[in-house]
Structures are given as structure tokens and as C-alpha cells.
């Protein structure tokens, strides 16, 4: 599943004396199976870009096409369904449901898709084993470390078999060892599941692992390199 961004712009407070252009006329293409880091300082617009790629935020102008679907033209209900079935999200603050166990958090989106109980249970177990948490299935987030919670978040993002995963500063709150282990897991899952990963980050440890780096500054692409 390819992602084609054409002249994407996002302006906040456009009708005021102080409009903020977070993303300015950006065009790019991400091909299936890529492992991409969008890097830049805080306020550079990289999170806004990811939010528009994922349909969380709508652009002021321009388009985001995911295969044959222009997600910027979808209605709210269509966009929710599209996100549920095609896009996985990993957030800096984990965003796990605190009353659900690790296994239940991973199963949740699959249940929304209407998958069977057996399929949900089987895939959640497989993914939690893949991220090294096969022995923590029944723990709620409050009983897990930050690194373990982020591993659950990775498993949850992959559970509905998305075409790509958007990860916004996923290592910002993690120590060096946990970051290394988590990046190992995501690289392995990228290769095993064939899922595209796009990171928003200023973490050099993530940038080092990426196969493509997009440098973002003041809402525009300053550099786009393969490494």
C-alpha cells in the first residue's frame, strides 16, 4: 500500500492575525514496506504531518492518497473505518486502555473489526509473544513498565493487520536498552509482516535504524535520503 502526499498544507488559526503554518506544501511518496524516519526539532511539523497521513487531522489543502483512496475526501465515518482497517498507531504516551489487560488491549481493535473470538485470541497471543510479553498477557498497563507498555502498543498497532504503522516519538520516554530492544522488534515485525513503518522522531537511535530519513524543518522537507 503506497502513500502519495501532494501539496499538503496545514494552517492553524487561519482567520486570525497569527496563523501558524505547521506543514507547508509538502509532496512525497512512501512505498510499501519502507522503514522511514521523519526527523526534526520540536515544532517542525513532523507530528502534524503524521496526523494527516493517519487521518487524525485534516489538511488545509492538498491530498493524501493511500493506494486508490483519497483519505482527505472521506467523510468522518468512512475515515474512521479506513483508519481502523488500514492504519496502526503508536503514541509517545502509549495510550493503552488502563482497565484492560495487555491481551485485551491488543484484541480491542480486532473486536471492532468484527473478527471472531478465536482469531482475536490467537493473533493477540502471537503478537505479544513476538514482542516478548507472552508471560504478561493478563497484566493491566499499571502493572507494566514503560517499555513493556510500549511493546503492548506495538502489538496493538499490528493486531488489525494494518497496511502501515505511524509511530509518533515512540522511544521518547524509554531508556537506551529498552529503545534498542523495541527497535529490534519493530524491524523484525516490519520484515515479517511486510508493514510500512513511518516514525516521527528526533531520536538518533531511531534515525540510525531507518532505511530512509526525511528531514523536516519549519513545515517543509529539507532533505529526503536513503541510507
> Which CATH number is 23's domain given?
3.40.50.300
Which pLDDT does position 97 carry in this prediction?
A: 95
Which pLDDT does position 171 carry in this prediction?
A: 87
Which pLDDT does position 31 carry in this prediction?
A: 94
Question: What rounded mean pLDDT belongs to the chain?
Answer: 92
Which pLDDT does position 182 carry in this prediction?
A: 84
How far apart are alpha carbons 159 and 124 in whole angstroms? 7
Which pLDDT does position 210 carry in this prediction?
A: 95
The pLDDT confidence band at residue 195, using thresholds 50, 70 and 90, is: confident
Task: Give the CA count within 13 Å in the CB-facing half-sphere of 182.
Answer: 25
Is the confidence at residue 164, as pLDDT, over 80? yes
Which pLDDT does position 190 carry in this prediction?
A: 87
Q: Which residue range forms the structural domain that includes residue 99? A: 3-226
Q: Backbone phi, then psi, for 149, in 5-degree steps?
A: -65, -40
How far apart are alpha carbons 139 and 155 in whole angstroms? 15
Give the cell for residue 110. Answer: 480486532
Which pLDDT does position 175 carry in this prediction?
A: 83
Q: State pLDDT tens for residues 12-38.
A: 999 999 999 999 999 999 999 999 999
Q: Using a pLDDT cut of 90, give the percent of the chain over it.
A: 73
- Please enumerate in sequence order all residues whose Cβ is within 8 A of that of 212, keeping only pairs 6 or more positions apart, or say none: 34, 35, 36, 37, 224, 225, 226, 227
Q: What's this model's pTM, rounded to 2 decimal places? A: 0.90
Distances (CA, A) of 73 to 4, 12, 79: 14, 19, 9
Q: State pLDDT tens for residues 69-113.
A: 899 999 999 999 999 989 999 988 888 999 999 999 999 989 999
Which pLDDT does position 226 carry in this prediction?
A: 95
Which pLDDT does position 116 carry in this prediction?
A: 95
Which pLDDT does position 213 carry in this prediction?
A: 97
Q: Cα–chain-centroid distance for residue 49?
A: 11
- Find out whether 52 and 59 touch, Cβ atoms under 8 Å: yes
Which pLDDT does position 193 carry in this prediction?
A: 75
How far apart are alpha carbons 33 and 195 in whole angstroms? 5
Q: State pLDDT tens for residues 39-77.
A: 998 889 999 999 999 999 999 999 999 988 899 999 999
Distances (CA, A) of 76 to 51, 60, 110, 172: 15, 16, 20, 31
How far apart are alpha carbons 116 and 195 in whole angstroms? 23
- Find out whether 30 and 36 touch, Cβ atoms under 8 Å: yes
The DSSP 8-state label assigned to residue 99 in this structure reads T
Q: Count of domains in the chain?
A: 1
Amino acid at each position: 500500500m503506497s502513500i502519495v502526499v501532494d501539496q499538503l498544507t496545514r494552517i492553524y488559526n487561519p482567520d486570525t492575525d497569527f496563523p501558524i503554518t505547521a506543514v507547508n506544501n509538502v509532496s512525497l511518496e512512501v512505498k510499501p514496506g519502507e522503514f522511514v524516519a521523519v526527523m526534526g526539532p520540536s515544532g517542525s511539523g513532523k507530528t502534524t504531518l503524521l496526523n494527516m497521513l493517519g487521518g487524525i487531522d485534516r489538511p488545509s489543502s492538498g491530498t493524501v492518497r493511500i493506494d486508490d483512496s483519497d483519505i482527505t475526501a472521506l467523510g468522518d465515518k468512512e475515515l474512521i473505518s479506513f483508519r481502523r482497517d488500514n492504519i496502526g498507531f503508536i503514541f509517545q504516551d502509549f495510550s493503552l486502555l488502563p482497565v484492560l489487560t495487555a491481551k485485551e488491549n491488543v484484541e480491542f481493535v480486532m473486536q471492532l473489526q468484527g473478527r471472531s473470538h478465536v482469531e482475536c485470541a490467537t493473533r493477540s497471543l502471537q503478537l505479544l509473544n513476538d514482542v516478548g510479553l507472552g508471560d504478561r498477557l493478563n497484566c493491566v498497563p499499571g502493572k507494566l513498565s514503560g517499555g513493556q507498555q510500549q511493546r503492548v502498543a506495538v502489538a496493538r498497532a499490528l493486531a488489525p493487520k494494518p497496511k502501515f504503522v505511524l509511530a509518533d516519538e515512540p522511544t521518547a520516554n524509554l531508556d537506551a536498552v529498552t529503545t534498542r530492544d523495541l527497535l529490534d522488534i519493530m524491524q523484525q515485525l516490519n520484515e515479517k509482516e511486510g508493514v510500512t513503518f513511518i516514525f516521527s522522531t528526533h531520536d538518533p537511535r531511531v534515525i540510525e535504524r531507518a532505511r530512509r530519513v526525511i528531514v523536516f524543518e519549519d513545515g517543509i522537507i529539507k532533505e529526503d535520503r536513503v541510507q
